[in-house]
Structure 1
């Protein structure tokens, strides 16, 4: 018996009759069709093989798109277009584009503080490198004062810190600390008092204390760096000079060291007071020419002069 024999059977399509199609009998019974159409339907169903028949779909009409859906999509597109253009429903500009908005003002404050810090750090670095610091020393506190007047005390503090960090990167910690002690503290104090509309008497007194404190801090820092007591050297020289003056004038006395320390402190305060007073005059004239006179509280005599 050969199991590999292939039986060649001719394919006989299966023909279904009307009695084998219940749905066609039901359709012919329920729907009153003409006799010719009924015969054609029965003949086509009985003649065509079931496996060769393909379903046909008749599309009577295309459904219309709902108008409300279209209108909703148009409204959404209009809102997206308005939001991209920066407009609200009432036609006004949004907060991030308005000149008086918080985002705009914060960005402008950040940019101004960064520019002031960059310019101050660069000028201070070049003046130290070229040994012309004495000619520009009175302007190093001005950017901090302007930032404090325009944007508040926090902006002035950020400008001072940014300048110190820039100098720390460019010149090292010594130059950054020197800037903070000699110019940064004074500029922040003056800017804070001017932004609070303080009187000139209070401002000059407090700024004098800040300037003297920064000067003494600079002396102590320099003493630590060079491993030498600069304050002792200064007081000893003052003591020797006063002893020579007293001996030349016929005064038979020797000043004590407490008197020397007190005299040294008074001289430092006087020097700082004159410097601060000149800075007040210079900055008042400069800021008035810049159009910031409304932010200043000038004394009566200076207000009449300007």
Structure 2
């Protein structure tokens, strides 16, 4: 019954059944076999041609549009070219990395030299070199690099030696080096640079005295002014003057002496650092006085 139903369905759709190859008589000669294969291929093609054709709607053949790819080979080549240009000697990424590395090295050198000098009690002999890394970073790169070197050195001292050493370095050497480096970077004259740097050094020295006065619970500034008052009174009495100077005069004398001391110290730093930078081949970046330029 199943076979008869299947044949009826095939007849309805227009199919004609052909006997299978196994039921057909087998050829005995090559010529007969060739004719047999040709007749079988033709019958198969007739069966396929008699298959009903169904029309395909054009609306069903619409293909969705494909958007443009997010990444193309050209864009990848441009990105690789841009990254390779950044890694060259004059690339932005290379220069930023080099500046960061140099600032870290100068900060480590300055912090190590300060710790060793303090530990060996030779700080007074090498105190003129503690501001050199900050000035060098400012002259080689920019003012921001000098500030980063100062902050990195103070942070290193804070971790290794405590807050007292870090504050002492900032007050006595850090701000002085940053001021000198900034003024030299801006091509300021030596007169302005020495005067402003001396004021910064004097303010730092006053802060140093106030900090240690707070730590030892003793007014060191009052002791200094009292000694200056006693010395001035002794000198005036030795010269035959019976006048006693007031405290305002003592403060003025103290401020003047402190400023003169800082001016001499900063002027010597200018001479030493200018000679050092000149030997390093950075003479074009300096604004030297004519007499010093002729002398070197």
TM range (shorter): 0.7 to 0.9
The equivalent of 2:64 in structure 1 is: none
Partner of 2:206: 216
Cα distance in 1 for residues equivalent to 2:180 and 2:3: 107
Give, in angstroms, the shift of residue 27 of structure 1. 9.4
User: 1:37 offset after TM fit, Å?
Assistant: 5.9
CA distance in 1, matches of 2:17, 2:141: 90
CA RMSD of aligned residues (A): 3.2
Counterpart selection for 2:195 from 205, 230, 233: 205
The correspondence of residues 74-153 of structure 1 with structure 2, limited to 5 A, is 76=73, 86-87=80-81, 94-153=84-143
Equivalences for residues 45-56 of structure 1 within 5 A: none
Equivalent residue number for residue 167 of structure 1: 157
Q: Aligned residue for 1:61?
A: none
Task: Pick closer, same or farther for the CA change 1:147–1:180 going to 2, 3 Å.
Answer: same
**1:16–1:203 Cα change, 3 Å:** same
- Equivalent residues, number: 253
Listed one character per residue, the Cα deviations across residues 132-185 of structure 1 (whole Å, up to 9, x for unaligned) are 111110001011111111211111111101100100001111100000000001
Residue among 6, 9, 21 paired with 2:10: 21
Question: Is residue 281 of structure 2 the alignment partner of residue 258 of structure 1?
Answer: no
> What's the offset of the Cα at 1:249?
2.2
Q: Identify which of 270, 276, 287 aligns with 2:277.
A: 287
> Of 257, 282, 305, which aligns to 2:295?
305
Q: Deviations over 1:11-32 (max 9, x none)?
A: x99699866634541999xxxx
Q: Which runs of 5+ in 2 are unaligned?
A: 20-33, 45-71
Shift of residue 252 of structure 1? 1.1
8 Å Cα contact 1:18-1:25 kept in structure 2: no
Structure 1 pair 15/138, CA: closer, same or farther in 2 (3 Å)? Answer: farther
TM-score (norm 1): 0.74
Runs of 4+ in 1 over 4 A off after TM superposition: 12-20, 34-41
